[in-house]
């Protein structure tokens, strides 16, 4: 099981997106059958399924255009330090408040990444970003409606969401960790001539502004909550992970490892 992280900026960036989606999809699918009500169980499972699907689409392009191994090998046959997913997505599901707040933070960020990727020159990637954007629009709608309802619901629901928010926030900031090659990718002209990738710092600012606006509109006093003072949890984009990723990979790849060369 050897793997070398792509040295070119574009495939590395795509791998980060794909790994986030794979790990997030796998984690969210752990709610299947345990969701709070039937309708939500189905909706959340469906979102998880979408996310694994998105990772496959990117692994496919990495395989066909950037010389990585086929999607099954790339997804299931890599050492932990070859995974470029953020710490946010690998954390265990916690309670539903934690999973919902994480889903909200995560999919808002994905929406921003796809918006920017839709400006790339490569027609295949552009088309893919446009296609996947529609699905993410539903993910963010789903997340927003739950956030709003529970933050404006009972005292208990509000407190549980606020506490989850404080727990998730530093991890969510970690999604925007700087990575080698980032500044090179920021120079690449997009379909309109201007650079298509704004870089992690700018993405984070945009994400944070939108998130703060939404929270304020739901009556959350963000200054009182102290979100601005929280520091990001970093490491994921360099292949360093928390204690939660290894068991996840162990479980996710258990069937694959029975026969790594099997044709599915």
Partner 1 sequence: MPILSLDPRVNRLQAEEVPADQAPVLVPGDHWPSYQVFHQRRRGEKHSSVGIVHAPSLEIAMAMAKEQFARRGETSNLWVVCTADVLEMDYADEDVFRTTPAKSYRDPAGYKVNDKIEAYKAQQTTLR
Per-residue tokens: 118: 């839709």
Least distance (Å) between residue 157 CB and partner 1: 8
Question: Which lies closer to partner 1 via its Cβ, residue 154 or residue 192?
Answer: 154
- Maximum CA pair distance of the chain? 55
Least distance (Å) between residue 145 CB and partner 1: 5
Question: Which lies closer to partner 1 via its Cβ, residue 153 or residue 226?
Answer: 153
Q: For residue 168, which of 37, 29, 27 has the smallest C-alpha distance?
A: 27
Question: Which lies closer to partner 1 via its Cβ, residue 40 or residue 60?
Answer: 40
Least distance (Å) between residue 46 CB and partner 1: 5
What are the backbone dihedrals phi and psi of residue 189, each rounded to the nearest 5 degrees, phi first?
Answer: -70, 145
Rg for the chain (alpha carbons), in Å? 18
What's the rounded Cα separation, in Å, for the pair 170 and 119?
29
Question: Which lies closer to partner 1 via its Cβ, residue 38 or residue 262?
Answer: 38
Q: Where does this chain bind partner 1 (CB under 8 A)?
A: 37-40, 42-43, 46, 138, 141-142, 145-146, 148-149, 153-154, 157
**C-beta of residue 11 within 8 angstroms of C-beta of residue 64:** no
What's the rounded Cα separation, in Å, for the pair 242 and 251?
16
Question: Which lies closer to partner 1 via its Cβ, residue 49 or residue 242?
Answer: 49
**C-beta of residue 230 within 8 angstroms of C-beta of residue 170:** yes
Question: Which lies closer to partner 1 via its Cβ, residue 38 or residue 224?
Answer: 38
Least distance (Å) between residue 39 CB and partner 1: 4
Least distance (Å) between residue 32 CB and partner 1: 13
Question: Which lies closer to partner 1 via its Cβ, residue 45 or residue 208?
Answer: 45
Least distance (Å) between residue 141 CB and partner 1: 6
Least distance (Å) between residue 153 CB and partner 1: 6
**C-beta of residue 84 within 8 angstroms of C-beta of residue 12:** yes
Least distance (Å) between residue 124 CB and partner 1: 25
Q: Cβ contacts of residue 236 below 8 Å, gap of 6+?
A: 83, 84, 85, 86, 87, 88, 90, 174, 177
**C-beta of residue 23 within 8 angstroms of C-beta of residue 98:** no
Alpha helix positions (H), 186-244: 200-217, 222-225
Question: Which lies closer to partner 1 via its Cβ, residue 43 or residue 212?
Answer: 43
**C-beta of residue 80 within 8 angstroms of C-beta of residue 143:** no
What are the backbone dihedrals phi and psi of residue 195, each rounded to the nearest 5 degrees, phi first?
Answer: -60, 140
């Amino acid at each position: 099981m050897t793997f070398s992280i792509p040295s070119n900026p574009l495939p590395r960036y795509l791998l980060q997106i794909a790994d986030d989606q794979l790990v997030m999809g796998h984690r969210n699918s752990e709610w299947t059958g345990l969701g709070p009500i039937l309708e939500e169980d189905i909706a959340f499972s469906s979102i998880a399924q979408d996310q694994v699907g998105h990772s496959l689409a990117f692994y496919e392009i990495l395989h066909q255009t950037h010389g990585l191994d086929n999607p099954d090998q790339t997804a299931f046959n890599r050492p932990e330090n070859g995974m470029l997913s953020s710490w946010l997505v690998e954390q265990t599901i916690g309670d539903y408040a934690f999973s919902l707040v994480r889903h909200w933070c995560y999919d808002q960020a994905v929406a921003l990444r796809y918006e920017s990727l839709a400006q790339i020159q490569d027609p295949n990637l552009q088309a893919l970003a446009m296609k996947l954007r529609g699905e993410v629009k539903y993910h963010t709608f789903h997340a927003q409606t739950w956030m709003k309802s529970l933050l404006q619901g009972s005292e208990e629901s509000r407190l549980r969401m606020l506490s989850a928010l404080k727990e998730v926030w530093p991890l969510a900031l970690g999604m925007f960790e700087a990575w080698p090659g980032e500044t090179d990718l920021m120079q690449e002209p997009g379909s309109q001539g201007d650079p298509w990738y704004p870089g992690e710092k700018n993405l984070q600012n945009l994400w944070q502004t939108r998130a703060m606006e939404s929270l304020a509109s739901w009556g959350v006093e963000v200054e009182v909550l102290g979100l601005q003072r929280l520091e990001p949890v970093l490491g994921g984009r360099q292949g360093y992970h928390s204690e939660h990723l290894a068991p996840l990979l162990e479980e996710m790849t258990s069937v694959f490892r029975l026969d790594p060369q099997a044709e599915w």
